[in-house]
Chains A and B, each alone.
Chain A
Amino acid sequence: GAVVSQHPSRVICKSGTSVKIECRSLDFQATTMFWYRQFPKQSLMLMATSNEGSKATYEQGVEKDKFLINHASLTLSTLTVTSAHPEDSSFYICSATPGQLVGYTFGSGTRLTVV
């Protein structure tokens, strides 16, 4: 089945630094990937749609300069949280699908803690 790998699974960083999270489709190509954020006891919130070879599309209220997305190949999308602050501490999850109307596969998530 389709597998999406996300790395790192946990990261702790100092306030003001940047953190990069990788999302890879291991056995399929994905022209589109999605990034979500989830706070404790809340549902997943879609942040942005990552498009291979073009700019990401951000959901309303998500700062594109703070959450930089790069989708340079058909199997890799990265999310960089720039100048991280404690309020950015959250669970970040990516997803992708090998085809239209097939179930989306999600990564295992990245727990970001900003201290």
Chain B
Amino acid sequence: DAKTTQPPSMDCAEGRAANLPCNHSTISGNEYVYWYRQIHSQGPQYIIHGLKNNETNEMASLIITEDRKSSTLILPHATLRDTAVYYCIVRGYNTDKLIFGTGTRLQVFP
């Protein structure tokens, strides 16, 4: 599976959009991009995933560049409860495994 690179930490003001970048420059054509988050001392929570098209659900939007080498997770109106570690994971179609990187620690402040 392709390796991902994320900034270690980010801050965001409550009510503003949080844009979390992820670099996956070695991604191959059949690999999906998944985003999870982990709030302190809990199991990770699924947010969204995509292959090449942009995706949106009730939690977030996922923007994948045309060359698929990077993506951005957007939380449109961040709240204090969005403070968590966000993981960007690339997973191949033929594998069941999710391998976690170091993630981005997002701190939402009032």
A49, B97: Cβ atoms under 8 Å? yes
Q: B20 → chain A, closest Cβ, in Å?
A: 15
Q: Which residues of B lie under 8 Å from residue A101 when comparing CB positions?
A: 32, 49, 93
Bitwise, B48-89 to A at CB < 8 A (1) or not (0) is 110000000000000000000000000000000000000100
Q: Which residues of A lie under 8 Å from residue B101 when comparing CB positions?
A: 43
Q: B32 → chain A, closest Cβ, in Å?
A: 7
Bitwise, A18-46 to B at CB < 8 A (1) or not (0) is 00000000000000101010000001111
Q: Does A58 contact B (CB under 8 A)?
A: no
Count contacts on A: residues with CB < 8 A to the other chain. Answer: 23
Count contacts on B: residues with CB < 8 A to the other chain. Answer: 22
Q: Which residues of B lie under 8 Å from residue A43 when comparing CB positions?
A: 87, 100-103
A108, B42: Cβ atoms under 8 Å? yes
Residue in contact with A44 in the complex, picked from B45, B96, B100, CB distance below 8 Å: B100
Q: Does B43 contact A (CB under 8 A)?
A: yes
Q: Which residues of A lie under 8 Å from residue B49 when comparing CB positions?
A: 101, 103
A109, B41: Cβ atoms under 8 Å? yes
Residue in contact with B97 in the complex, picked from A34, A103, A106, A111, CB distance below 8 Å: A34
A107, B97: Cβ atoms under 8 Å? no
B96, A93: Cβ atoms under 8 Å? no
Residue in contact with A104 in the complex, picked from B41, B46, B48, B93, CB distance below 8 Å: B46
Q: Which residues of B lie under 8 Å from residue A111 when comparing CB positions?
A: 41
Q: Does B17 contact A (CB under 8 A)?
A: no
A6, B43: Cβ atoms under 8 Å? yes
A95, B87: Cβ atoms under 8 Å? no
A-B contact pairs, 26 of them (CB 8 A): A4-B43, A6-B43, A32-B96, A34-B96, A34-B97, A36-B100, A43-B101, A43-B103, A44-B38, A44-B100, A46-B97, A49-B96, A49-B97, A91-B41, A95-B44, A95-B98, A101-B32, A101-B49, A101-B93, A103-B48, A105-B46, A106-B44, A106-B45, A108-B43, A109-B43, A111-B41
